[in-house]
Amino acid sequence: EPEVTQTPSHQVTQMGQEVILRCVPISNHLYFYWYRQILGQKVEFLVSFYNNEISEKSEIFDDQFSVERPDGSNFTLKIRSTKLEDSAMYFCASSEEGYAGELFFGEGSRLTVL
Amino acid sequence: AQSVTQPDIHITVSEGASLELRCNYSYGATPYLFWYVQSPGQGLQLLLKYFSGDTLVQGIKGFEAEFKRSQSSFNLRKPSVHWSDAAEYFCAVVLYNTDKLIFGTGTRLQVFP
């Protein structure tokens, strides 16, 4: 069964460093998303991406964050200068038809900022 | 304030017992409604969704949910719980004309044999 894959599964970084989280969505999907879950808290929307551009972003998704689909298969989330409060599990999701269909989530990338 | 509320943080049931997980929302218009499940170390999986029509929706793994407009609720139910149902359950909404899923705080389900 096709699945969304995320790498790395866990990354530890120093505060102020740049981090890139990678996602390979399901191949025929057109809608892509990043969500995050701080330990013990609820899952929060970060950004949605369709037709090679951001369609919506949350207030969390400030200038330190960016997304890219560099080669038609990968979908990356970059955090330019990490802060302690960026420590969280980051989930990528993809969908064939947005929320009208089903979002398929990856298993997440755990980011720990020291 | 606009929100999705799951009043029960943690529920424990015996295997074979019935289950109901509560979800309430407070938005001006009826949003699109979803239930997701997250097993330990796994991503989120869609159980079911409601957009319109029949207010009782069937999902995967024997789950169902009922939309009640008068109560702004979308409670998840299962008649007989299995040990493998132990997981975290999230209610979520999408507001009309937006492109983001808003999650509740989750209910952790524990199942005893």
For A38-53, the pLDDT digits (tens) are: 988 889 999 999 988 9
Strand B3-5 to A31-37 pairing: unpaired
pLDDT tens readout for residues B84-103: 999 999 999 988 778 788 99
Within 13 A of A4's CA, how many CA atoms are on the CB side?
A: 30
- pLDDT at A13 (0 to 100): 97
Share of chain A above pLDDT 90, in %: 80
- pLDDT at B96 (0 to 100): 78
Taking the C-alpha atoms of residue A94 and residue A26, their distance in angstroms, rounded to an integer, is: 7
pLDDT tens readout for residues A58-69: 999 999 999 999
Q: In terms of pLDDT, which residue wins out, B20 or B30?
A: B20
Picking from A43-57, A81-95, A97-111, which range would have the lowest pLDDT averaged per residue? A97-111
Picking from A7-16, A19-28, A70-79, which range would have the lowest pLDDT averaged per residue? A70-79
CB–CB of A98/B32 below 8 Å?
Answer: no
A41 and B CB contact within 8 Å? yes
CB contact under 8 A, A107 and B43: yes
Give the nearest chain B residue to A9 (CA atoms): B41
- pLDDT at B1 (0 to 100): 65
A35 and B CB contact within 8 Å? yes
- Tracing tokens 């020291």 back to the chain, one arrives at A114
Helices (H) and strands (E) in chain B, counts: 0, 12
For residue A97, give every residue at least 6 positions away whose Cβ sits within 8 Å of its Cβ, in sequence order, or none.
A30, A31
pLDDT tens readout for residues B32-67: 999 999 998 788 999 999 998 999 999 999 999 999
Share of chain A above pLDDT 70, in %: 100
A97 and B CB contact within 8 Å? no
